[in-house]
């Protein structure tokens, strides 16, 4: 009898797991939380060992090499330099007709002069300072007077006026107007039979100026201009001719421009040839043992080399 009871009890116990499983199922269906007692009946489960799956990453394709495309080479910007070929209307408003100088006339000559205001020309009454740097050389037969320590009045002939520091300025008076020579400038001024020549030997910038306000240049349009080194200004009471523009003095010239009713002309001369052919420079060479003379000749020789290098020597001719 006891055996039968034990079997019935064991059969009942064997049905308990199914009963609990039914409770879980009903709780899942109706969302009812599972009693803690029911949960505690399950023994803790031992996690089963499951090896982590090994993931094999695919080998990426090789990265193509980085191609650097060079930027196109852009040449540096250089602004266009415009050199005026003929600035005569803007520089000089002279009236009248110019004779036929087609074989001589060249607007390039105007590069050697610049029109400036009359007020920029020094006045004789304003000149001051030491006079030790002012030197005057002359050719035979020249006639000039010293109006003051700073002013020379040229009557006729040829003079070389040099102004070196500490002196500041000297003025040469002529029948056509005044010529000023400022510090570190050398110029040849020649007056012969009504024709004036001004040759800038080495004065840079506005060192050499000509204020032409007398004779044929008198009036409201009288020009005041600067003369660049290596250029010559010719002013005459006569109508300029070839013989006046190209005298037979052994000095090579090129690039001529005739203005002011044919009473004014600008040309370029070879300073190198002037050093060898000028009579007044030859007189200076005879006294080259002096400190002043050596300095003057040295400055002119340096400028001749500079002008030859910058402007070239082609086109210079000597009138035979």
| Chain mean pLDDT for the chain | 81
**Residues 163-173: b if buried by 16+ CB within 10 A, e if exposed:** bbeebbbbbbb
**pLDDT band at residue 273 using 50, 70 and 90 as cut-offs:** very high
pLDDT reading at 301 higher than 50: yes
pLDDT reading at 173 higher than 80: yes
**pLDDT value of residue 287:** 81
Q: Please list the residues that pair with 187 across neighbouring strands.
A: 161, 200
How confident is the model over 183-221, as pLDDT tens digits? Answer: 999 999 999 999 999 999 999 999 999 999 999 999 887
pLDDT reading at 106 higher than 60: yes
Counting other chains too, the contacts that 305-311 makes at CB distance below 8 Å and 24 or more residues apart are 307/229, 307/230, 307/271, 307/272, 308/272, 311/230, 311/268
Lowest mean pLDDT among 5-9, 35-39, 93-97, 237-241: 93-97
DSSP 277: H
DSSP of 130-150, one letter per residue?
Answer: --TTEEEEE-TT-EEEESSSS
The C-alpha atoms of residue 86 and residue 237 are separated, in whole angstroms, by: 25
**pLDDT band at residue 98 using 50, 70 and 90 as cut-offs:** very low
Burial class (CB in 10 A: 0-12, 13-18, 19+), 116: middle
Which whole number is the average pLDDT over 126-134?
A: 95
The C-alpha atoms of residue 229 and residue 304 are separated, in whole angstroms, by: 9
- Most confidently modeled of 7-11, 77-81, 196-200, 219-223? 196-200
How confident is the model over 280-297, as pLDDT tens digits? Answer: 999 898 886 788 999 999
How confident is the model over 51-68, as pLDDT tens digits? Answer: 555 555 566 666 655 555
**Residues 231-241: b if buried by 16+ CB within 10 A, e if exposed:** bbbbbbeeebe
**pLDDT value of residue 76:** 47
Is pTM beyond 0.85 here?
Answer: no
From start to end of 70-222, where are the E strands? 113-115, 134-138, 143-146, 151-163, 169-174, 177-182, 185-192, 195-200, 208-212
* Distance of alpha carbon 286 from the chain centroid: 41
**pLDDT value of residue 313:** 95
CA distances 116 to 186, 207, 247, 257, 305, Å, are 20, 12, 28, 18, 28
Nearest CA-CA partner of 134 in 182, 180, 178, 167: 167
């Amino acid at each position: 009898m006891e055996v039968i009871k034990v079997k019935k009890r064991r059969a009942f116990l064997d049905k308990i797991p199914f009963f609990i499983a039914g409770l879980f199922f009903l709780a899942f269906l109706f969302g009812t939380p599972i009693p803690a007692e029911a949960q505690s009946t399950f023994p803790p489960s031992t996690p089963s060992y499951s090896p982590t799956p090994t993931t094999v990453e695919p080998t990426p394709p090789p990265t193509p090499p980085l191609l650097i495309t060079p930027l196109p080479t852009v040449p540096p910007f250089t602004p266009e330099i415009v050199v005026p070929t003929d600035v005569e209307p803007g520089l000089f408003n002279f009236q009248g007709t110019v004779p036929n100088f087609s074989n001589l006339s060249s607007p390039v000559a105007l590069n050697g002069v610049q029109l400036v205001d009359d007020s920029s020309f020094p006045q004789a009454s304003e000149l001051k300072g030491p006079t030790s740097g002012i030197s005057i050389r002359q050719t035979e037969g020249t006639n000039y007077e010293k109006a003051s320590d700073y002013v020379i009045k040229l009557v006729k002939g040829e003079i070389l006026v040099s102004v070196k520091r500490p002196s500041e300025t000297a003025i040469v008076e002529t029948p056509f107007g005044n010529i000023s020579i400022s510090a570190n400038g050398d110029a040849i001024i020649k007056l012969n039979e009504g024709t004036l020549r001004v040759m800038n030997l080495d004065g840079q910038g506005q060192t050499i100026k000509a204020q032409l306000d007398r004779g044929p240049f008198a009036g409201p349009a009288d020009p005041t201009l600067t003369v660049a080194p290596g250029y010559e200004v010719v002013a005459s009471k006569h109508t300029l001719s070839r013989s006046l523009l190209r005298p037979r003095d052994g000095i090579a010239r090129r690039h001529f421009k005739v203005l002011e009713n044919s009473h004014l002309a600008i040309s370029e001369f070879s300073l190198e040839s002037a050093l060898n052919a000028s009579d007044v420079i030859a007189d200076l060479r005879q006294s080259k043992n002096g400190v002043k003379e050596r300095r003057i000749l040295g400055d002119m020789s340096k400028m001749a080399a500079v002008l030859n290098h910058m402007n070239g020597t082609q086109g210079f001719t000597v009138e035979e």
